Structure 1
Amino acid sequence: MVYKHSVYETNSFYWNTKGNDFLRAIVLPFYGAFVTEEKCQLFGDVSGKKMLEIGCGDGQSLQYHRERKASELWGMDISERQIEKATQHLKACGLSARLICSPMEEECDLPVDYFDFVYSVYAIGWTTDLEGTFCRIASYLKKDGIFIFSWSHPIHKCVVDENNRLVFNKSYFDESWYSVAPDFVQGELTLSDRKLSTYINALAKAGFVIEQMIEETDQEIIQLHDEHNDLVERAKMFPVTFVIKARKL
């Protein structure tokens, strides 16, 4: 059994040290591999809107929204080092944001019924309490506020390449926590591959209605990459990223 605090300690240490410098961030307009806001248009017009990012990283996605006339920028991240980098980046861009270092699962004095949008680009999957996190996010949003998040598609983690054939090496239904050491980076992360139904049911329980789900691969982006790239080959066969847009009832 993996305890939540242990997961938090492992992952926050990783992002505060090696992972912060070596793992390439996924930032808007990209939601992940082969999915972009420019194509999906999930946010629409954000001018004058109050935005909160869960897992704000170095602040580039917050910058993206400010350039589109969002009125307020707020960000939360598990890593003190990421918050420092976001502060430096936004300051260098002449932008201001309210940034909070906290696990997304915990109370951190964010205003309730306040935000027009809460969003997360490849960060929600780190939570150790999905239902609790979605309930907190719902509390931050105004009525009819929008929650948009992306994460690695769970089917992506179930398939490996063996002798030029894609084969299942893991059960889609296995949501247990496991340790992983990313390529070329010292350190260790702890992850859980949740089913899509787990995300959808947790959203419903928190009072959200799903307006749109994206799991298609953008063929225009695929054409820009080497067709022999392993990720490209996989993305032609099944989704590697999913994005959900939900509205608070």
Structure 2
Amino acid sequence: MNKQRWEISAERFFGRTALPEYGPFALTEAQLKLFGSICGKKVLDIGCGSGHSLQYMGKEEARELWGLDLCTKQIETARKVLKDQQAEVKLVESPMEENPGLPIGYFDIVYSIYALGWTTDLSRTFSHIYDYLKPGGTFVFSWEHPLHDRLKFEESSFTFNKSYVIEGPEYNEGWQNLAVIHHRKLSTYINTLIEAGFMIEKVIDDVCLPDEQSENPAKWYSTQKANLVPATFIIKASKK
């Protein structure tokens, strides 16, 4: 179901929420410097989308650019975006819950920008990512903060209309209930990383607001809501 919706809706997301940005109202890689030097590194993008984060990695002189995505249309777009890269480019169409033949213990950096929360099996996905990394390798990902869609603007004020503590699959309101996504607490992401063997280095949910307020507080990402709860969280972890 989700793959079908992505094939229909992919163009909406071409070039959106890509490095050096981590997500709405979040600090950027220029501010956080989570990756350190990328020059000469082999990198893998989980949920690579239209390839713009990999394009950033190429500009930072990564040696190999690998991308994984469920959506055929996204992979086709990424090939066009990355066609002039000097680095070696390998793009694979596959769900992140499966290993489609990616090398084990190979990558210096694995990352995911606003994509990893789509997984239907978080534990399995983290285990694959752990396997892909070299010992000492870095894993960085960002995703919508799990408090964000619990809060809704209704009748001139924000209210919590969903439980934060009840986890599981649910229809995604941002996709007009035509896609299913799993609600998980922030602690679930952290604990599942630890269970997969990762060492957590940073958890970031700082909010960086623009000078101007959104005109419509009912927008999915509005400055009014970001004044109350973070829109984005970022985690940096490493393979022991």
Give the TM-score, by structure 1 length: 0.89
The residue type equivalent to 2:51 in the other structure is G
Superposed, 1:193-204 pairs within 5 Å as: 193-204=183-194
Q: 37, 42, 55: which is aligned to 1:45? A: 37
- Match among 106, 124, 134 for residue 116 of structure 2: 124
What's 2:228 paired with? 237
Tell me which residue corresponds to 2:3: 12
**Secondary structure of the corresponding residue to residue 82 of structure 2:** helix
- Number of aligned pairs? 234
- Percent of aligned pairs sharing the same letter: 44
Q: Which residue of structure 1 lines up, in the alignment, with residue 198 of structure 2?
A: 208
Name the CA distance, whole Å, in 1 between partners of 2:66 and 2:89: 5
CA-to-aligned-CA distance 1:13-58 (integer Å, 9 cap, x gap): 11112x1122463111111101211211111111111100000111
Give the superposition deviation at 1:240: 0.9
CA distance in 2, matches of 1:153, 1:181: 15
Residues in 2 aligned to 1:127 and 1:189: alpha-carbon distance in whole angstroms: 12
Tell me, in whole angstroms, the C-alpha distance in 2 between the residues paired with 1:144 and 1:95: 23
Aligned mates of 2:12, 2:49 — CA distance in 1: 13
Matched, 1:106 2:98: yes
SS of 1:133 mapped into structure 2:
helix
Secondary structure at the aligned position of 1:74 is classed as: strand
**C-alpha contact (below 8 Å) 2:144/2:231 kept by paired residues:** yes
Query: What amino acid maps onto 2:41 in structure 1?
Result: K
Structure 2: give runs of 5+ residues left out of the alignment: none
- Give 1:92 shift: 4.8
CA offsets per residue over residues 59-94 of structure 1, 9 Å max, x none? 110010110111110000001111111001111556
Letter in 1 for 2:7: N
CA–CA separation in structure 2 for the residues paired with 1:50 and 1:229: 42
Q: CA RMSD in A?
A: 1.7
- CA distance in 1 between counterparts of 2:99 and 2:57 reads 25
Between Structure 1 and Structure 2, the one with more helix by share is: 1
Secondary structure of 1:197 counterpart: helix
| Counterpart secondary structure, 2:184 | coil
Q: Which residue of 1 aligns with 2:20?
A: 29
Amino acid at match of 1:20: A
Instruction: Look up the SS of the partner of 2:83 in the other structure.
Output: helix
Q: 1:119 & 1:95 partners in 2: Cα distance?
A: 17
Q: Secondary structure at the match of 2:227?
A: helix
Report the counterpart of residue 178 of structure 2 in structure 1: 188
Cα 1:134–1:80 change in 2 (3 A) is: same
Matched letter for residue 99 of structure 2: E
The letter of the residue matching 2:6 is W
Matched letter for residue 22 of structure 2: Y
How much has 1:181 moved relative to structure 2?
5.6
What's the counterpart of residue 86 of structure 1? 78
Q: Classify 1:182/1:168 alpha carbon distance in 2 versus 1 (closer, same or farther; 3 Å).
A: closer
Is 1:138 the counterpart of 2:130? The answer is yes
* Aligned-pair CA distance for 1:96: 4.2
Are 1:74 and 2:66 counterparts? yes
The residue type equivalent to 2:233 in the other structure is F
